[in-house]
Amino acid sequence: MPLSDATIRKAKSAEKPFKLFDERGLFLLVTPTGGKLWRFKYRINGKEKLISLGGYPDVSLADARDRRDAARKRVAAGVDPSEERRAARAATEDSFEAIAREWFDKFKSRWTEGHRRTVLSRMEDNLFPHIGSKPVRDLAAPEVLAALRRIEARGANETARRVRQICGQVFRYAVATGRAERDPSSDLKGALAPVEVRNHAAITDPKELGALLRVLDSYEGTLVVKCALRLAPLVFVRPGELRQAQWSEIDLDSAEWTIPAWRMKMKQTLTVSLARQAVAVLRELQPVTGDEKYVFPSGRGGSRPMSNNAVLAALRRCGIEKHEMSGHGFRATARTILDEVLHERVDLIEHQLGHAVKDPNGRAYNRTAFLKDRAAMMQRWADYLDKVKAAHPQANAS
């Protein structure tokens, strides 16, 4: 007898699972825990098979019969519903989005928090809506290019280039894990619009540098931001490394700031020798933020560092325009003047900038190489900054 809704509702669980049969291969499996699960039994190519059609009451008796009838039509056409489902699941599991998220989860621990957010947002905003659902092995260069062209259409050529790099990493991961044959993004070399190279705005003239330092000293904002402005030219680290500085990384007695590898762009620990002037700035700030995690905490609470725009906004408040100086520009300033004016050793400068430096045999120097020489250079740099800052604006400070 075919099942009825009343029979299904009254069915009680037993110590062992049991079946209530309907017709044409449909039955209800009642589990010991009270579950009522629809199943469809069929034969194809001489083999008996079984597929799930959902659970009662979410799938009613009428719905279950509709699903059974649809499956029977597939069997009559020579299509195995079970294999069809398996292929659909495999396509979903091997989609570009699924593999990209797997790649992201595997490697995100090696990146800074900011880089993790950037990579994920670039994929979610630019790739997943367009190619995310497609099996990664079926994607070809024109489809990837179409997604990148959308980015270019809004004028973000640099972002398009970065997203292409992310695509390449995902595809190479898919190849390595046996889910793709090749990386189609490699075929896009030369297909994207060129990126206009813009150097970070930086002051490299000694007289202009002196004027800049005097302006920074006159900043009337919070002590936290004022100290960040004063410290930036003394240490010339990247803006993100400065604003995320933690007191636990700084030894004022030894005059050293050790930035851990996970916060560095090159993933190498950097020791920043602190000149007397830098130590003085930090000692001035320590009574204010020394009990916090961050040296330069956010104005909204000490559990977070100051925002990306805090130093830039302070520069603009001081009347320093975007084309004159950027937060990153202090690095270019130091790099140029240390080399061309103070004639410091280039390898010491590169070490202090956190760049990779190799010995004559092509091997990377140890991260602690030349610490004593670098400390002496940093003190000469700080003394030079004092000199140009103290010079009369019209004097030749070089």
d(CA 389, CA 364): 36
Catalytic: 355? Answer: yes
Query: Do residues 306 and 297 touch, judged by C-beta distance below 8 A?
Result: yes
Catalytic: 238? Answer: yes
Query: Do residues 231 and 243 touch, judged by C-beta distance below 8 A?
Result: no
Catalytic: 265? Answer: yes
Token pair for 260: 């851990």
Catalytic residue among 36, 230, 238, 243: 238
User: ∠ CA(320), CA(321), CA(324), 5° rounding?
Assistant: 90
Q: Give me the DSSP letters along 165-198.
A: HHHHHHHHHHHHTTS-S--GGGGGTTTSPPPPP-
Query: Do residues 224 and 306 touch, judged by C-beta distance below 8 A?
Result: yes
Catalytic residue among 89, 265, 267, 316: 265
Cis amide bond preceding 17, omega within 30: no
Catalytic residue among 243, 331, 335, 351: 331
Query: Do residues 340 and 346 touch, judged by C-beta distance below 8 A?
Result: no
Q: What is the DSSP letter of 257?
A: E
Beta-carbon neighbour count of residue 269 at 10 Å? 15
Alpha-carbon dihedral of residues 68, 73, 77, 81, nearest 10 degrees?
A: -20
Catalytic residue among 230, 328, 335, 351: 328
Token pair for 120: 């994920």
Using DSSP's 3-state secondary structure scheme, residue 25 falls into coil
Alpha-carbon distance values, 121 to 184, 185, 267 (Å) = 22, 19, 22
d(CA 134, CA 230): 52
Catalytic residue among 162, 355, 367, 380: 355
Alpha helices in the chain (DSSP H): 5-10, 61-76, 81-93, 96-107, 113-126, 128-131, 141-153, 157-176, 206-217, 223-235, 239-243, 276-289, 310-317, 329-340, 346-352, 371-390
Catalytic residue among 137, 207, 365, 380: 365
Task: Name which of 87, 207, 189 is nearest 135 in CA terms.
Answer: 87
Catalytic residues: 238, 265, 328, 331, 355, 365
